[in-house]
Structure 1
Amino acid sequence: MQGTVDGFSYGAVTPVAAYLMACLGGALGLRCTTRSLLVTHARRPAWLALGAAAIGSGIWTMHFVAMMGFTIQGAPLHYDAPTTYASLALAVVMVGIGIFIVGYRGATGTALFTGGTITGLGVASMHYLGMAGVHFQGGFTYNTFTVAASVAIAVVAATAALWAAGRVRGFLWSVGASLVMGLAVSGMHYTGMAALRVHLDAAPHGAGGGPGASVLVPMLIGPLAFLLLAGAVVVLDPLMVTGGPARTPVEHKAGVPAADVPSHPERRPALRPGRGPVRRLRHHPSRTPQNR
């Protein structure tokens, strides 16, 4: 029997809150990835790991904040804890693989495509594994075309985010990139939810099936606390992550890690307009006018 679904039981509250969670995780992850491109190889893994955990936690939190407003008429929802937390681990691991690829190979060409694809697939896998943890007296089916569209949105969003991490340096640009990323991730979520069809094993009895906020709130405490802690580390005390002062940024090609650029650029002879290099003659005491 077809079930009646309501994805916005709390109105605009859950979509807006979910979007903000995606933006927060994206902003922290982009900031960490950007800083990783400006430090030495020894310090880079710490920033990349924190960035992966921030993005993965932000996306996972966004998903389940949005799910607080999801109800099925007459069918109370239950969330399987192992499956739910497994979706969080999957998101962090796959996002981490994509971020480490870009962090060490640069946000260009094949590395960007590979990292963005893996990260996007991680986001989509997190969504559908999280939905597999939703239990009720029935089951879900999905429209294949809409699911494919949601996966494509996730891959494009992840690729754009990693591209921004390799190139965006200013604060306002970072904020703009995180807002776009949050919009894309939210779009992926609700596109995936649009592919959903609910089939009940029996006719619903009464209204029942209220929002699952009371079940999800305890699960969200840990990831939310981590996001707040990551935000404090990035904003207030970044030295806690790297274990020492960050190296002074150097000018380098966009998307290429700064650690791969010589810390002291080669000295080149100065150029005069319209002429060749200026040759600087060394002073020889033996050639002074008095000794000629």
Structure 2
Amino acid sequence: MSEEKGLLHGVWETVKTVVYALLIAGAFRTFLFQPFWIPSGSMKDTLLIGDFLFVNKMAYGYSYASCPSIRIPAVGIDISAEDFCGVFKGSDSRLFGSEPERGDVVVFRHPTRGDDFIKRMIGLPGDRIQMIDGVLQINGEAVIIEEDGFFIETYEQQGPLGNTPMCMNGSVGIGGDCMKERMYETLPNGVRHAILNARDDNPRPFTDNSGVYVVPEGEYFLMGDNRDNSGDSRVPATQRGVGFVPLEDIVGRADRIMFSSAGRSMFAFWTWRSDRFFKAIE
């Protein structure tokens, strides 16, 4: 084989390797698991800003929302799952589908914005959901609440977005201790998880006292664990919430944190939270 042919052969083998790798990665992301970074504090302290996890797409089967999305704002790329698989949107069934369970931590597509969100599954089709004096009511029964002291974090800009946390102890200033009440909530099916209460004088009264939400057939009611700082099913999707979430908009279930960084970049190794690596999500 001549030197020129050998060089072309080497280039062709490299191209094939890259193409195969991209196809395998695409299939992995489309059918099995999707990477997800936690960008906000709505699920504290179950999930912290900077946690990285894989979404299990096999948990509930597949819909149009299972298709990957590619968003790279820096170069103007914004291709959503609907762009790839919108032809399948509107279907009442999922391929290999199964129902989400109460208490699951779920990733879903926002009904109007198309972004991926993560919240906890609280209400199933037909449920009646209400907040009374800060306590969740499901079908007329209050969930079990256990006090667990305080969740304390440093008041500072967090993650790539630079958001600052909400504190129940007022304006503590940069570097101060930001406190929230921490409690455990036990749902009717026995799922027990932590929730936070950030303020008692919340200007959004629905966080502590609300009307009754009746979950429609084929839709679900999701809430953040950081109850006073979460735009979720308590607020319509057109008003900075998510409203009821159709089954077809659910991407999958979050089961385990793989990596976590408290800094503005994952490359700032001194901010890595090694105690959260491979931590199961409760």
> TM-score, normalized by length of structure 1?
0.23
Higher strand content, 1 or 2: 2
Higher helix content, 1 or 2: 1
Larger Rg computed on CA atoms? 1
